[in-house]
Copies of this chain bind each other. A is one copy, B any other.
């Protein structure tokens, strides 16, 4: 800490390893293949922590990210993003080297794959279980039939099954709602599996969202689990009731640069270019961008929600603090901020430091 002079994203390896280990054990106990999503950390080094837990197959969110992790030695990668047909050259290069899986949700993409594939690729049909971002509606069997039919007849295109991201769990207002979303998605995916099982005995179901992967224990009929955020968790997950404060593995260290007594505000170097602008509602109904940890008598103390990161501009962060805490802050102090959305925060920072000061690099931006 003493060498830090600028906004710095700290990662706690021990907490990460505990989060990874817990999820790996759970997946194993439930008989699920564990294919964690690496878009959260985007780091070759942190990838190694997963390897240590026995992980051999991963999920990524772009072809570029697949290239990065393939170069780092990963041999089994699913690109969990609707196939971008403009990247067929990159996909062919990857598929020549590793076991690659892609997502389709329309015949257009399937036709391009059939025309241009040079190597074998696994193909999942993306199913919309209610998040309404991408995928074929889970009950639109006629649409699914058409895409399944299109996939057939090309040896290099191996139909894997149905994949969903039940992202509406991130918007839930209670853990009960997360469970309801999950069971609804589960039922829909099981119906699909049953529908195609006779024709495709190997058809699989792949699910993956951190809230359900963490909280739920019923994955009946599911073959594969792809959560990502759980490696770090964040305030959003803690706020959802998905994790505890002590499960959050990243925090931003920020220098205090100014204080404004009349409005009980403390200015830090730490802004939108460090945290991203994702927020949650604080207990006072206002937007919250982070919670504050300060050191007091040699101990790290998490301040209550009367003290929080309340505003962000490009480089500035504003801490709204309780009157009683205001004097705990001073110019030149380093405070730690628990971020609202660890994926976007890590993506912005581009690297981490461990508590031992080790630099952990991430995927370059281009």
Contacts and interface: CB of A to CB of B under 8 A. Distances in A.
Interface of A: 4-6, 39, 61-64, 81-87, 89-90, 105-106, 108-109, 112, 132-134, 137, 167, 255, 257-260, 262-263, 267, 269, 272-273, 276-278, 311, 313-316, 318, 330-332, 334, 343-344, 347-351, 365-366
Contacts of A257: 81-85, 109, 134
B344 A365 contact: no
Given A6-B84, A61-B315, A314-B347, 4 more contacts: A277-B278, A277-B344, A314-B343, A347-B348
A167 B311 CA distance: 13
Copy number in the complex reads 2
Nearest to A128: B260
Nearest to A334: B86
B366 A350 contact: yes
Of A258, A318, A330, A334, most B-chain CB atoms within 10 Å? A258
Contact of A314 (B39, B108, B315, B365): B39
16 contacts: A5-B90, A6-B86, A62-B269, A62-B315, A83-B257, A108-B330, A109-B258, A133-B316, A134-B257, A134-B316, A273-B344, A273-B347, A347-B348, A349-B365, A350-B365, A365-B365
Nearest to A254: B84
B350 A81 contact: no
A350 to B, nearest CB: 4
B332 A112 contact: yes
A35 to B, nearest CB: 17
A305 to B, nearest CB: 22
A272 B62 CA distance: 13
Overall SS of chain A's interface: mixed
A101 to B, nearest CB: 16
A84 B5 contact: yes
Given A5-B87, A87-B6, A106-B259, A313 B273 contact: no
A280 B196 CA distance: 45
Contacts of A137: 262
